[in-house]
Chains A and B, each alone.
Chain A
């Protein structure tokens, strides 16, 4: 059946070289439409004047505010000086000087180690890893060093001023090494904070909180939203608290939990579930993976009795497992159906098969349906 679908859509047919010079033999070779629809937050009114920004501009704005207000703050990584491969640092070097916004050699373990050293002196270090997929060379520095610096020294030394930013998540065609969502690897490491925003307003407020926070933070930026997500973002600094999930839509039948881009997928799922099944969904954006907001999620599940967790990362050992297990412990008497996890499969992230790999709205809707019929 899958094979038939391939042939009908034309996806998967080998594309003969230079065939585009002639009349294309297949009708549909355009890149697939995105798997989500970004829904802007209502413009925040409490933080002063706003400006239309996409996600990369919101990230840039957060760093601009930081460099302006904190003379110790520096930004570094691969190719950040000219503005970054995703434009997140455009203009900052010209504005704040080359000793504050600078390129490093191409070496992730070096970038994080260097950032820890800066932070250990009390200065603010904002390190960029070019793709979350390339954070693994720095795994030792993050897990054995950054996360344990304060604890092992009895609080004499810490690297709480360190923030590591990295583009994250699927992007339509990123394949194995430009698509990964490695948050669960870090969720197993006490001492770290791990944060993922769902849009520009969240990105700026959460990034500023990460930078201000006195613990080493990893901030994953959903790169598919860099340009796609546009909304009104406050121009000045503002802070969205870490370790606080947000109920985006109240509901009574089932709780849906996600973070990053997947929040927008679940918003659509909630609409579909309402329309097609008459089901009322409560949507929660977890935002902080570690330490996560157990209370908000459990409170919701106590009310709805059902929980679906969805993430792009593979299911086995994914963070949904942690949420699922905790909710099962805390809400055993309230659960009316097994907790559903709709996640990536336990494979590497594929190139041409991405549409089949990701936990899209149809997979999530089907899970909701099954849960309601349990």
Chain B
């Protein structure tokens, strides 16, 4: 810059303009607030946090009739059967991992209510982004047992072509975006998808599930903030089950859980009893209605408890007591709570329970055996879909592999794979 402009900058800069507004009102662009004349730090309220919304008690009794969603018998039976079917599938696949028949598994014990209640409150066309412990959402949408099994066994029926670890489900037809392992990456993606759906103007919403541990990732911050500033029709659904592998929430955060962060981003937020399928349903249904109507994000924090181990690679007794786990398994479980509700209405009894247990177990075992007998996908699936079309280098690598296999075929498990 020139010397002249340097000198002219000097004088007037230090002179103050006369006031032209009489009242003392803050004019800062960054916030809308009044002045205060006393020094006071805002204290977080963690002892008495955001209350936990519930509709029925642990005995399945509706607490406030005005909040009863009055879901018809068939649909409640559907909730119950899918929660228990998921539970049965979990037990069988967990055991199959223990026997070395699949490489990995993650159960949904204790969180079945959050899946079913929220999935039921959505439209089937709403797009779902998940973490990995939301298999019940797919089950609610009608994902067949055979395809759950196909993914875990990575057999030739797997829609994902056997490329990802077990429980990384996805289904285009059911609008369930394929799961990936990196935590919280789906949050800003879900916000972007919601933005695109808003522009399509098709009355669709996005729901994005994540655990309270994943909420510590930078991507969670990104997703919340983008969804708010860009006015996206999205429901952020946090499963706060108390643990991220071995890390208790006291080492995960010091605020009032995840729900308390929502208002900081300008997001409408609520905390619900995740073991109360009706509370989850009500909150999700209302959030969905308003998210689509108002193009704004909602945050639901479902309080629950991770009854199972984190995964088959984890023994949770190394960091928490059996008593603690038993309390949630025996005293406050989403499945037993819904059963109490159904029994008290005369919609369910011991005989039906026994028959359904037997029937669901049989369905799962049949699918399990079919999946296990099935061949793996052909090894050429190793190379496809990296790009929409294989570049020459990749084609060459594919040819190299097949030439190599032909020469050394006895050293590779070719008989397990489709030709």
- Which residues on A are within 8 Å of B, measured CB to CB? 20-21, 72, 74, 99, 102, 104-105, 107, 109-110, 112-123, 125, 137, 140-141, 144-145, 148-158, 160, 190-191, 193, 214-215, 243, 291, 294-295
Q: Are A102 and B230 also in contact (CB < 8 A) when A121-B193, A144-B182 are?
A: yes
By the criterion CB–CB under 8 Å, are B192 and A125 in contact?
yes
Establish whether residues B160 and A117, one from each chain, have CB atoms under 8 Å apart when the complex forms: no
Q: List 22 A-B contacts (CB under 8 A).
A: A105-B222, A107-B221, A110-B225, A110-B226, A113-B188, A116-B188, A116-B189, A117-B190, A117-B193, A117-B194, A120-B189, A121-B196, A122-B196, A140-B182, A141-B185, A144-B180, A148-B180, A151-B386, A153-B178, A155-B384, A156-B160, A156-B171
**B225–A141 touching, CB < 8 Å:** no
Residue of A nearest to B377 (CB): A154
B3 in contact (CB, < 8 A):
yes
Q: Compute how far the CA of A112 lies from the CA of B230 in the bound complex, rounded to whole angstroms.
A: 15
Least Cβ–Cβ distance between A27 and chain B, in angstroms: 18
Nearest A residue (CB) for B164? A152
A191 x B188 contact (CB < 8 A): no
Instruction: Report whether B385 and A155 are in contact in the complex, using a CB–CB cutoff of 8 Å.
Output: yes
Tell me the nearest residue of chain B to A18, going by C-beta. Answer: B6
CB neighbours (8 Å) of A137 from chain B are: 218
B393 touches A118 (CB 8 A): no
Query: In the assembled complex, how far is the CB of residue A299 from the closest CB belonging to chain B, in whole angstroms?
Result: 13
A110, B160: Cβ atoms closer than 8 Å = no
Q: How near does chain A come to B143, taking the closest CB pair, in angstroms? A: 13
The CA-CA distance from A113 to B226 in the complex, in Å, is 10
Are B188 and A141 interface neighbours, CB within 8 A? yes
A71 to chain B, nearest CB (A): 9
Kindly state whether residue B195 has any CB partner on chain A within 8 Å: yes
Shortest beta-carbon distance from A146 to chain B in Å: 10
User: Do A113 and B192 touch (CB < 8 A)?
Assistant: yes
Distance (whole angstroms) from the CB of B118 to the closest CB of chain A = 19
A157 in contact with B385 given A105-B229, A109-B222, A117-B195 (CB within 8 Å): no
Residue in B197, B221, B386 with the greatest tally of chain A CB atoms within 10 Å: B386
Complexed CA–CA distance, A104 and B232 (Å): 13
Q: Is B340 an interface residue (CB 8 A)?
A: no
A114 touches B192 (CB 8 A): yes
| B 154-201 contacts with A by CB, 8 A | 158-161, 163-164, 168, 170-172, 177-178, 180, 182, 185, 187-197, 199-200
**7 A-B pairs with least C-beta separation:** A117-B192, A113-B188, A110-B222, A153-B178, A291-B391, A117-B189, A114-B192
Q: Is B219 engaged at the interface, CB distance under 8 Å to the other chain?
A: yes
- Contact check: which of A114, A145, A151 meets B163 at CB < 8 Å? A151
Chain B contacts to A: CB under 8 angstroms: 3, 127, 129, 158-161, 163-164, 168, 170-172, 177-178, 180, 182, 185, 187-197, 199-200, 218-219, 221-223, 225-226, 229-230, 384-388, 391-394
Q: How far is the CA of A249 from the CA of B221 in the complex (A)?
A: 50
Q: With a CB–CB cut-off of 8 A, which chain A residues contact B168?
A: 152
Q: Are B189 and A21 in contact (CB under 8 A)?
A: no
* Shortest distance from the beta carbon of B294 to any chain A beta carbon, whole Å: 16
Complex CA–CA separation, A266 to B186 (angstroms): 43
Determine if A114 and B189 form an interchain contact, defined as CB atoms under 8 angstroms apart: yes
> A152 → chain B, closest Cβ, in Å?
5
Chain B residues within an 8 Å CB radius of A125: 192
Determine whether the beta carbon of B388 is less than 8 Å from that of A150.
Answer: yes
User: In the assembly, what is the distance between CA of A160 and CA of B387, in Å?
Assistant: 9
Asked if A104 contacts B226 (CB within 8 A), the reply is: yes
| CB < 8 Å neighbour of A105 from B158, B190, B226, B391 | B226
Are B196 and A72 neighbours in the complex by a CB distance under 8 Å? yes
Residues of A within 8 A of B388 (CB): 150, 158, 160, 214-215
A294 touching B393 by the CB < 8 A rule? yes
Give the residue of B3, B163, B197, B391 whose beta carbon is less than 8 angstroms from that of A152: B163
The one of A107, A117, A155, A156 that contacts B225, using a Cβ cutoff of 8 Å: A107
**Pick from B170, B171, B223: contact of A110, CB under 8 Å:** B223
B194 adjacent to A156 (CB under 8 Å): no
User: Max chain B CB contacts within 10 Å: which of A74, A102, A140, A153?
Assistant: A153
Using CB atoms, name the residue of chain A closest to B165.
A152
Is A153's CB under 8 angstroms from B196's CB? no
By beta carbon, the residue of chain A nearest B225 is A105
B392 lies within 8 A of A294 (CB): yes
A119 CA to B190 CA, complexed, in Å: 11
What residues of A have a CB within 8 angstroms of the CB of B391 in the complex? 243, 291
How many Å lie between the Cα of A140 and that of B185 in the bound state?
A: 8
Give Cα A3 to B387, complex, Å: 51
Tell me whether A117 and B163 are in contact (CB under 8 A).
Answer: no
Distance in angstroms between the alpha carbons of A156 and B386 in the assembled complex: 13
Most A CB within 10 A of own CB, among B129, B171, B223: B223
Question: What is the minimal beta-carbon distance from A358 to any residue of chain B, in angstroms?
Answer: 27
B178 close to A115 (CB less than 8 A): no
Residues in B whose Cβ lies below 8 Å from that of A190:
386, 394
Closest chain A CB from B165 CB (angstroms): 10
The residue that A145 contacts in the complex, of B170, B182, B387, with Cβ under 8 A, is B182
Separation of A99 and B177 alpha carbons in the complex (Å): 25
Minimum C-beta distance from B222 to chain A (A): 3
Known contacts A74-B199, A102-B230, A104-B229: A153-B160 contact under CB 8 Å: yes
8 Å CB contact of A72 from B159, B189, B199: B199
Q: Which residues of B contact A120 (CB under 8 A)?
A: 177, 189, 192-193
A112 to B187, CA, bound (A): 11
A144 CB contacts on chain B under 8 angstroms: 180, 182, 185
- B195: nearest chain-A partner, CB-CB: A118
**Residues of A contacting B197 with CB < 8 Å?**
121
Write out the residue numbers on chain A whose beta carbons fall within 8 Å of the beta carbon of B226.
Answer: 104-105, 107, 110, 114
- Chain B minimum-CB-distance residue to A155: B385
**Chain B neighbourhood of A243, CB < 8 A:** 391
Q: Is the CB of A118 within 8 A of B193?
A: yes
Instruction: Check if A154 sits within 8 Å of B159, measured CB to CB.
Output: yes
A313 to B365, CA, bound (A): 57
Chain A residue at smallest Cβ distance from B390: A291
- Chain B residues near A148 (CB-CB < 8 A): 180
Q: Nearest Cβ in chain A — how far from B100, in angstroms?
A: 24
The closest CB in chain A to the CB of B171 belongs to A156
